[in-house]
Amino acid sequence: MRFGGHETFPIRTGWLSKGLLLSNGRNVQFDDPSVADVLGVGRNMSKSIRHWLHVTGLVTRDGRNAPIILTELGRLILSRDPYLQHIATWWALHINLATQTTAAAAWRWFFNDFARERFDRLTCIDEFTRALERKVNRLPSRKTIARDIACLLQSYSTPLPAEPLDPEDATDCPLRMLKLIVQHRDTGYFDRRFIVRPIPPELLGYAFAQMQGEDHSGHFEIPFTDALVLQFAPGRVLALDAEGLASLLNDAERVCGRDKIRTFLLGGERMIAVVWKSPTSWLADYYERVGACT
């Protein structure tokens, strides 16, 4: 379980696009000052870009000193959405963050285990600390924990009332577009609501595939209630209530086809059947449907 790595910087507009383009076919050393110059950022920001490329699943490496290479997802996004303009791309990256098993521990905990819908930053830090005390032998420093929570909240939270927009300001994290967290500037409290969300239907399949892992062929079935509450399930990582999940399922049946995803009754219990394919294939279906560039 790893902490930090982001150098306190959330993802900024253009960072992942620049990192993907630079990493394509090159052995890039992001802590090299010359690479930071090419990216047009400081050295710490360059290392932050490397971190975000890894934890969102866009790049990988076989060992600490091995070259960075694009993953299947990274290659798909570079070819179909190189400037990360489609919100479906950001939903996919968010799902990857929320289902990380080795890194981005604060993200995994927040979107899967943290139960509060209204909270302040100190409460979030305290509950994450208590969760870690039950799971890890060596607790990171409170400063490290606080930095991870601060970075997470800064990444997602939309301030209310809204701040004046500056078209020249590229410091806002694009994950705010998902509208998963609201910050009330007058009180400092945050709200995270489980609601109906306008999510591209293919991303429901992406979330199910990410939840199930690589050990499935054919199709799998899951009770509707489990899809709401289980760790890594769409209800948790996409912040959906029962109405929101039902609405997204209806959209998925209509757009993707009932041969790929559908609901049915089994002994009075509502079930969901999903054809298993890789998360990347679900995202490719979205790009194909909307005619994203090739």
**Rounded Cα gap, residues 168 and 115, in angstroms:** 37
Regarding whether 152 and 27 lie in a shared domain, the answer is yes
Q: pLDDT band at residue 3, thresholds of 50, 70 and 90?
A: confident
**Arithmetic mean of pLDDT, 45-60:** 94
273: containing domain: 202-290
pLDDT higher than threshold 80 for residue 270: yes
- Is 214 a domain residue? yes
- Is 270 a domain residue? yes
Burial track 269-285 (b if 16+ CB lie within 10 A, e otherwise): eebbbbbbbebbbbbbb
The pLDDT of residue 152 is 97
Mean pLDDT over each residue of the chain, to the nearest integer: 92
Regarding whether 184 and 238 lie in a shared domain, the answer is no
Structure tokens at 122: 């100190």
Regarding whether 166 and 127 lie in a shared domain, the answer is yes
The pLDDT of residue 172 is 86
β-sheet with 118-119: strand ranges across: 118-119, 190-191, 181-184, 157-160
Regarding whether 264 and 129 lie in a shared domain, the answer is no
pLDDT in tens, 217-264: 688 899 999 999 999 999 999 999 999 999 999 999 999 999 999 999
The pLDDT of residue 11 is 96
Q: Could you give the 3-state DSSP secondary structure of residue 238?
A: coil
Q: pLDDT band at residue 216, thresholds of 50, 70 and 90?
A: low
pLDDT in tens, 144-173: 999 999 999 999 999 988 776 655 555 789
**Arithmetic mean of pLDDT, 196-220:** 89
**Arithmetic mean of pLDDT, 42-51:** 92
Q: pLDDT band at residue 141, thresholds of 50, 70 and 90?
A: very high
The number of folded domains in the chain is 2
The pLDDT of residue 110 is 97
Regarding whether 184 and 239 lie in a shared domain, the answer is no
- Is 1 a domain residue? no
- Is 197 a domain residue? no
Question: Where among 133, 162, 191 does a domain terminate?
Answer: 191
**Arithmetic mean of pLDDT, 200-209:** 97
- Is 2 a domain residue? no
The pLDDT of residue 292 is 84
Report the candidate in 123, 199, 155 with the shortest Cα–Cα distance to residue 13.
Answer: 155
Structure tokens at 123: 């409460």
Regarding whether 214 and 174 lie in a shared domain, the answer is no
pLDDT higher than threshold 70 for residue 117: yes
Question: Where among 163, 191, 219 does a domain terminate?
Answer: 191
**Rounded Cα gap, residues 199 and 250, in angstroms:** 12
- Is 6 a domain residue? no
pLDDT higher than threshold 80 for residue 214: no
CB half-sphere exposure, 2, CA atoms < 13 A: 12
**Arithmetic mean of pLDDT, 208-216:** 83
Classify strands 157-160 and 181-184 as parallel, antiparallel or unpaired. Answer: parallel
Q: pLDDT band at residue 27, thresholds of 50, 70 and 90?
A: confident
